[in-house]
Structure 1
Amino acid sequence: MNARPDSDQEMPLVAHLTELRTRLLRCVVAVLLIFAGLFYFAQDIYTLVSAPLRAYLPEGATMIATGVASPFLTPFKLTAWVALFLSVPVILYQVWGFIAPGLYKHEKRIALPLLASSIFLFYAGMAFVYFLVFPLMFHFFASVTPEGVAMMTDINEYLDFILTLFFAFGVAFEIPVATFLIIWIGLVDVETLKKARPYVVVGCFVVGMVLTPPDIFSQTLLAVPMWLLFEIGLLFGAMVRRDASKEETSDSTAIVPRESDDQPPAPQA
């Protein structure tokens, strides 16, 4: 049985709460520092984020601000969200630092790659929606705009729209990690997940319907990658379970040395 790597003594509840408070404060400070560094560029950040839509606006059309304070508050809110997204590695590192002392060594060997994969996949989901989904979606919306209707989007409504998609795709790209975890801890076996594949596909489209705007285009662009990412997580989960089964088999078939026949018999009373 593996021993805890750091200490066999349990920390008191007050110490856990104190450490939790410290790590939460570090997360907040990280977000505030990044926000302070980005605030000067708030207008430029909004210009960059709105580029996928502005590229498909009709000639002479522009984005509009219907609220009195929207020209200031909307870039301000976007910068705050960008600071939060950029702070994800720091936040996950603090989460790791809080739970790591309670893990065994073999659990840490799995947890560290999962942590790095989670960060990479979250940003990959955001890049996917910005560079692929947005251009396709806004080109489609612009092409189906009725004649006589000016396509002039409010900057605050656009921000709410893209933040929903950024968050939805960022979380959806974590599916391989979630699938791997439930297989690794033995909550569900690989064969059960394979049999449930049709339900997973339907579930991906349901999630896409809930998390994305009410159009079949964006729903499909979220549901299909979710299904493919589920298959990737299933593949890696099956590989890990196969390796674990081999180790268990080798341990169970290990030869236990017998007592030698040449040993003298035990003395009789």
Structure 2
Amino acid sequence: MAKTNIDEMSFLDHLEDLRWHLVRATVSIGIAGVIAFIFKTFIFEVIIFGPTHMDFPTYAGLCKVSQFLGMTDTTFCAEEFPFIIQSRTFAGQFSAHIWTSIYAGFIVSFPYVLYQLWSFISPGLKVNERKNSRGFIIIASILFFLGVLFGYYIITPLSINFLANYQISDQIQNEFDISSVIALVRSSSLASGFVFELPIIIYFLTKVGLVTPEILKKYRKFALVIVLILSAIITPPDIASQVIVAIPILILYQVSIYISKIVVRNQNRKTARENKKQHVKP
């Protein structure tokens, strides 16, 4: 059992405490993963393979937008994608089932995993720092889930639509392996989930003095270039898709600047109050 006074804990005590936090986080992922394993029909037919069907909500919305803009030759309004999904190894489907369940377990249990991480770190913080960081788990979890939804409903359909309809020759038929389809959905969703944690990261970097609002403003142009490069990596190489992905990331960057300003302002006020108290003392 971990000691209540962190100052009395040795290095081995901290390792033991960390081990139990990791164990509890892993168990939560395992439990959620088992539940996802049981509901394989919903996980695969509805979630994983959902964006591979043209009745997916995103395609319906993009079809209406393209028709409103007068675009007649668009793949968003097609009846079906010109590809099939296959498994080319004996253990392909079973392996896909196992790993998809694990990743689904991680996404579902993310708030609890974050709680375990915070429970390990928070005893080393001061009382006022813990108070100011209240709501961290809720906000970080909301941002993560918003990012996952953005990746699933925006990046994934755009990527599938582009790659499924891309052809270098009519002689080549698209027969995608199940692992490739799952990897695309997984990477798009998880990458977006972690990218949406940018305001939280900036908050803590500002708290420790590694980042300031001035630095963020100074390197805003470089950040724009990095965002465009990131958008080009995780989306199809067309301008529309990159802009769609870049806009929320740029908004998050601007929000991060505002958060950094608040942190610095609060720190300056705290320093001013402490200096005032020192001058008041006889």
1:2-52 superposed Cα distances (whole Å, 9 cap, x missing partner): xxxx74733112221221121111122112212222212123301122111
| Alignment match, 2:103 | 81
| Alignment match, 1:116 | 138
Structure 2: distance between partners of 1:29 and 1:188 = 35
What runs of 5+ residues in structure 2 fail to find an aligned partner? Answer: 55-77
Indicate conservation of the 8 Å contact 2:111/2:141, yes or no. yes
Describe the SS at the equivalent of 1:158.
helix
Is residue 2:187 matched to residue 1:188? no
Is residue 2:228 matched to residue 1:230? no
User: 1:216/1:105 Cα in 2 relative to 1: closer, same or farther (>3 Å)?
Assistant: farther
Indicate conservation of the 8 Å contact 2:213/2:261, yes or no. yes
| Alignment match, 1:58 | 80
What runs of 5+ residues in structure 1 fail to find an aligned partner? Answer: 1-5, 259-269
Structure 2: distance between partners of 1:233 and 1:216 = 27
Describe the SS at the equivalent of 2:280.
coil
Describe the SS at the equivalent of 1:77.
helix
| Alignment match, 2:194 | 171
Indicate conservation of the 8 Å contact 1:173/1:226, yes or no. yes
Indicate conservation of the 8 Å contact 1:125/1:171, yes or no. yes
Describe the SS at the equivalent of 1:63.
strand
| Alignment match, 1:256 | 280
Question: Normalising by the residue count of structure 1, what TM-score does the alignment of the two structures yield?
Answer: 0.81
| Alignment match, 2:125 | 103
Describe the SS at the equivalent of 1:9.
helix
Answer with 118-127 or 236-245: which moved more: 236-245
For residue 200 of structure 1, report the CA deviation from its aligned partner: 0.9
User: 1:59/1:244 Cα in 2 relative to 1: closer, same or farther (>3 Å)?
Assistant: closer
Matching of residues 198-217 of structure 1 within 5 Å: 198-210=221-233, 212=234, 215-216=237-238
Q: Percent identity?
A: 24
Describe the SS at the equivalent of 2:176.
coil
Structure 2: distance between partners of 1:8 and 1:19 = 11
Structure 2: distance between partners of 1:8 and 1:37 = 36
* Paired residue total: 252
Answer with 215-224 or 229-238: which moved more: 215-224
For residue 252 of structure 1, report the CA deviation from its aligned partner: 3.5
| Alignment match, 1:11 | 9
Answer with 23-32 or 134-143: which moved more: 134-143
The amino acid that maps onto 2:130 is: K
User: 1:88/1:142 Cα in 2 relative to 1: closer, same or farther (>3 Å)?
Assistant: same
For residue 108 of structure 1, report the CA deviation from its aligned partner: 0.6
Indicate conservation of the 8 Å contact 2:227/2:250, yes or no. yes
For residue 83 of structure 1, report the CA deviation from its aligned partner: 0.8
Indicate conservation of the 8 Å contact 1:57/1:142, yes or no. no
Indicate conservation of the 8 Å contact 1:121/1:174, yes or no. yes
1:216-252 superposed Cα distances (whole Å, 9 cap, x missing partner): 4655544432222111111122123223323433443
The amino acid that maps onto 2:87 is: A
The amino acid that maps onto 1:107 is: E
Describe the SS at the equivalent of 1:215.
coil
1:131-160 superposed Cα distances (whole Å, 9 cap, x missing partner): 222333333445544673544432111111
Structure 1: distance between partners of 2:18 and 2:25 = 11
1:97-144 superposed Cα distances (whole Å, 9 cap, x missing partner): 111111101111233333322211111111011122233333344554
Indicate conservation of the 8 Å contact 1:209/1:219, yes or no. yes
RMSD: 2.7
Indicate conservation of the 8 Å contact 1:30/1:87, yes or no. yes
The amino acid that maps onto 1:200 is: A
Structure 2: distance between partners of 1:158 and 1:64 = 10
| Alignment match, 1:39 | 37
